[in-house]
Amino acid sequence: MEQKDIDHLFRHHSGKMVSVLTRIFGLKHLDIIQDAVQDTFIKASISWRKEIPKHPEAWLTKAAKNRVVDIFRSLNTQRTHHSSIKRGTDAIAINELFLDSEIEDAQLRMIFTACHPKLDPRDRISFALKTVSGFSIKEISTALLTKEETIKKRLSRARKTIQNADIQFHIPRGKALHVRLESVMEVLYLIFNEGFHSNNKEQLIREDLCREAMRLCQLLLKREQTRTPETYALFALMCFHSARLKAKIGMNNEILDLKQQDRSLWHFPLIELGNTMMYKAVDTDAFSCYHYEAAIAAEHLRAKSFEDTDWNKILQWYEALNQLQPMSIYLLTIAVICVQIKQYNRAESYFQQINPDELEQRKYLFYAAKSDFYSERGNLELALKYLEIALESVNNTSEKDYLKKKYSLLLSKD
């Protein structure tokens, strides 16, 4: 087992252990639980230098459980917690809580805790990545392009809110479940999107974030009360996008857009899985934003070549999506499609509706699209001007290199 595999195991197992131990000991001891799990992994990293155990997950589970019990014994709270364990789990033996089905239940409880409406929306994704997915503060700050101190403050604020509001470690029911499920799906969508098109300077794709979002979405689909047309559509969208990950980056770590991608590299088992999920997702009278985004992704995958793309169909889906949930990024994509099908006046009207600052870290996309617009219309001066602004705004190195190549091509035409 290589170090990267051990790191992945630690992260993946950390989320499991924090969730199940929180179910046993309660949210009020979350800090102690996280410290205990971290101590376990430090101990493992030292112990495994000589020899990795035959069943590393079982080793970590046992070590984490024993470490927490030791800590509570040292705090003279063992008797109190044993009684609360008995009440809190309806007399289920502690060991049974470490069965796969019970660990999944604990993780779902943690996801719904992380997405409680009383938590600040900015804190939810950080808290979910830390407690459910086992990401370190450094990894979260890298993923979200936020300072480590800011992430620490968000995590601390989330824990205080949980304590002060007496938030319970359970999956809500009825109307409360529907509202919370929307928040859960939004957080999973954001995690996946950051992985699929990262804002990180050096890394355009974060496959670990994509995989984690898909894993958590699958947990939702395993439970009847969280298995809805919307969750099926969200998972289908993740499958469709993930199918193209290997084709997005070239041999020299350069970005390849849809026109340049080798479609034989697309992962067709994932496309088939996405199609299966979509068949289940459309068993509803009302479509969500995930339905429309999945339909758009499927339309791209359906085309045998870039030239075969049904842009009018994609335009129809994007307009429906923007009508359902108006966003600047959707307006920008609609404008880009209008340029693609040479409806320039229509494209210009959409560009005029967009405030690039609303796109935040992705506002360079607006200027790059405007450059393409003027390039298509033969105005190279304005095309170069807008591409220069895009280059000043872009953060990721691969995307900057991609825009530089476009700039060089434009100069060669001038």
Q: Domain boundaries in the chain?
A: 1-98, 329-414
pLDDT the model gives residue 85: 47
Q: What is the pLDDT of residue 250?
A: 81
What is each CA distance from 364 to 107, 355, 382, 402, in whole angstroms? Answer: 37, 12, 15, 12
Spell out the long-range contacts of 81-86 with Cβ–Cβ below 8 A and sequence spacing 24 or more.
Answer: 81/24, 81/25, 81/26, 84/25, 84/26, 85/24, 85/25
Q: How far apart are CA 139 and CA 121, in angstroms?
A: 19
Does the pLDDT value for residue 149 go beyond 60?
Answer: yes
Mean pLDDT confidence for 140-163: 88
Q: Does the structure show a pLDDT above 90 at 280?
A: yes
Question: 136, 122 in Cβ contact below 8 A?
Answer: no
Instruction: Show Cβ contacts of residue 77 under 8 Å, excluding neighbours closer than 6 positions.
Output: none
Residue 17 near residue 130, CB atoms below 8 Å: no
Question: Where does the pLDDT of residue 200 fall: very low under 50, low under 70, confident under 90, or very high at 90 and above?
Answer: low
| Beta pairing partners, 255 | 249
Q: Which two tokens stand for residue 46?
A: 């030292």
Torsion angles phi and psi, residue 255, rounded to 5: -75, 135
What pLDDT score was predicted for residue 202? 63
At 165-198, the pLDDT tens digits run 989 898 888 888 998 999 999 889 988 988 887 6
pLDDT at 273 exceeding the cut of 70 = yes
Q: How far is CA 295 from the centre of its chain?
A: 19
**Predicted pLDDT of residue 233:** 97
Give the tokens for residue 327: 């966003």
Beta carbons of 153 and 40 less than 8 angstroms apart: no
Confidence at residue 83, expressed as pLDDT on a 0 to 100 scale: 47
Residue 299 confidence (pLDDT): 95
| Lookup: tokens for 312 | 């009018």
Is the CA virtual torsion 329, 330, 331, 334 positive or negative?
positive
Containing 353, the helix (H) or strand (E) segment is none
Q: What is the pLDDT of residue 34?
A: 86
Highest mean pLDDT, choosing among 33-42, 245-254, 269-278, 401-410: 269-278
Q: Write the pLDDT tens digit of every residue in 293-327.
A: 999 999 999 999 999 999 999 999 999 999 999 98
pLDDT at residue number 14: 84
Angstrom CA distances, 56 to 10, 13, 51, 59, 61, stand at 10, 10, 11, 5, 9
Beta carbons of 143 and 198 less than 8 angstroms apart? yes
Where residue 388 falls among pLDDT bands split at 50, 70, 90? Answer: very high
pLDDT (tens digit, 9 = 90+) per residue, 118-140? Answer: 999 889 989 998 998 888 888 78
Burial, 276: exposed, middle or buried (Cβ in 10 Å; 0-12, 13-18, 19+)? middle
Rg of the chain over Cα atoms, rounded to whole angstroms, equals 24
Continuous H helices in 165-197: 174-196
- pLDDT value at position 396? 79
Q: Nearest 5°: phi and psi at 249? A: -120, 135
* Whether 195 contacts 154, CB under 8 Å: no
Q: Which residue has the higher pLDDT, 58 or 27?
A: 27
Q: Which amino acid is at 217?
A: C
Which 3 state secondary structure label does DSSP give 214? helix
The class (CATH top level) of 329-414 is: mainly alpha
β-pair partners for 249: 255
Q: How far is CA 298 from the centre of its chain?
A: 19
What is the band of 37 on the pLDDT scale with cuts at 50, 70, 90?
Answer: confident
DSSP at 255? B
Mean of the pLDDT values across residues 208-231?
Answer: 92
Q: Name the strand (E) or helix (H) holding 256.
A: none
User: Where is average pLDDT lowest: 77-86, 151-160, 168-177, 297-306?
Assistant: 77-86
